[in-house]
Structure 1
Amino acid sequence: MELIAGKKFKLPVWEAILRTMRPGERARFRCESKHVVLYPLVAKSLRNIAAGKDPLEGQRHCCSIAQLHEHYSLGYPDLDELQKNPQPLIFDIEVLKVEEPGSYQQDPWAMTDEEKLQAVPLIHQEGNELYRQGKVQEAATKYYDAIACLKNLQMKEQPGSPDWIELDQKITPLLLNYCQCKLQSEEYYEVLDHCSSILNKQRQSLLQAGQGSRGRVECGRGAG
């Protein structure tokens, strides 16, 4: 597991623990229940990552019923029990490596909004270079990271607003590059799904543009 100090992505108590440790050190800490109330949610995210899923799966755009269900069931019996009855937890931690700020490339989730926007062109370029080298899977990962940055920013905008549309337009070429990689990897279902989505958006945009043009012509006739 990686943890970036100051981002509060996981449990604040973990940051307090790690600040007392040195690289190569292994120690055991007992944390009172008040410090680990959110552990079941964090644990679910970590398990999703280990399974190759979205770490926030089930936590976005849920209706009230889904959120109610999410509150009572995390999909893991042991985490559900811990959520109902919080307990002190013991963490056995070994510090493998410490990296200084600026010495590593941040993951998209750890970036600020401004950092995400600045990183997208660079990640896109890295993906293109990897693709030219024939490293298709690595290129797909880069395109996916760039898309994730833009999607995260898009979620903060009102759907259909100018800023939302601008971000969506930046996502499309990255998604097409990603699909090209998946096509070469013979992952056809994912390619069909994404490309169909892009075509549907383009079709809707053309229809809306056509309706807008007809509306202006009709108004002109009425005024004449």
Structure 2
Amino acid sequence: MSDMQDTMLLGLEGIKKTILHGGTGDIPKLITGTKVTFHFRTQLCDDERTVIDDSKVAGTPMEIVIGNMFKLDIWETLLSSLRIGEVAEFWCDTIHTGVYPLVSKSMRRIAEGKDPVEWHIHTCGMANMFAYHSLGYDDLDELMKEPKPLYFVLELEYSRDTWALSDEERLKVVPVLHGHGNKLYKQGHYQQATQKYKEAIICIKNVQTKEKAWEAQWLKLEKMANTLTLNYCQCLLRMEEYYEAIEHTTDIINQNPGVMKAFYLRGKAHVEVWNEAEARQDFSRVLDLDPGMKKAVKRELAVLNMRMEEKNQEDKIKYKVARNGDRCKPSPGYPALSLRK
């Protein structure tokens, strides 16, 4: 094999590992109870390397809890050999791939919104696997009838068991989470992006509590947390959670009144809930802090004017309807006139 130097045997029969992209830091200790998030691609060992499943195409990474009786337990072993951010290809013989069709069916049904998450092995479930003729997917039925060796390409995003990490490890995880959050934001997966940002903020806050408030290291961590919180607020705006965005940006402004982006995002949130005076005030502060934002602020003020005009029109219509409604009501003590003959 030409790339033999890249290939490592894991000391297990029927497994070969090839590193496709190196990761960072040491290999995390995946103890029982650790939540691990990773992407996977499953391929046949044919000339075309036919793809059976790909979590990146599905748009959602996989998440398992180590030691929680995940049906495809060989994946725990494979993941335990990866560094954060590492991408590796594992060739696995049929002794390890027999239950894959069953796991794949569960994952596909969850992605289609048809099934609750259920990764535990139940004896009856394993027996039923052989009792039913079809899994509902032709390619999986083929694999079920005739198990084959498979390639698993795994990419470890991170292990979410942050309480088990040292402070140094927590700070190493932050840029990884930040990067994944940004990627998800660009793909339009705002809810998932907020989770990444939140976890990164928790890592920072855990470390920050051990530092002396307002000293250099504390301030450095505060700045990192604020950057992530503002990214989180951008997601909230996309998700139309305007009041929560106002709350978080206000917290940052109260602590650090010089953060231009906090005023800008709060201004945008105020526009959406028709807080005209507050929005104008925030955008004015943006220009004080960064005159280079003039074009962006002009655009936001145009949106504000349009929103206020819409609201005024709506209010006029409501007022008109209310007044007409009052006018049409019969006076007390007199029967309503009927126009019918």
Q: TM-score band, normalised by the shorter chain? A: 0.3 to 0.5
Structure having the higher Rg: 2
Q: Which has the higher strand share?
A: 2
Q: Which has the higher helix share?
A: 1
TM-score by length of 2: 0.32
TM-score by length of 1: 0.47
